Amino acid sequence: MTKSELCEHLAEQTGTLNKKEAELVVNCVFDSIREALAKGERVEIRGFGSFSIRERDARQARNPKTGEAVNIPDKKVPFFKTGKELRELVDG
Contacting residues for 34 by C-beta, under 8 A, at least 6 apart: none
- The answer to whether the pTM exceeds 0.85 is no
Answer yes or no: is pLDDT of 92 > 90: no
Assign 65 a pLDDT band (cuts: 50, 70, 90).
very high
Q: How far apart are CA 69 and CA 75, in angstroms?
A: 18
Q: How far apart are CA 50 and CA 43, in angstroms?
A: 5
User: Cβ atoms within 10 A of the Cβ of 22, count?
Assistant: 21
Q: Do the Cβ atoms of 33 and 43 come closer than 8 Å?
A: yes
Looking at CATH, the fold of the domain delimited by 42-92 is given as: HU Protein; Chain A (4.10.520)
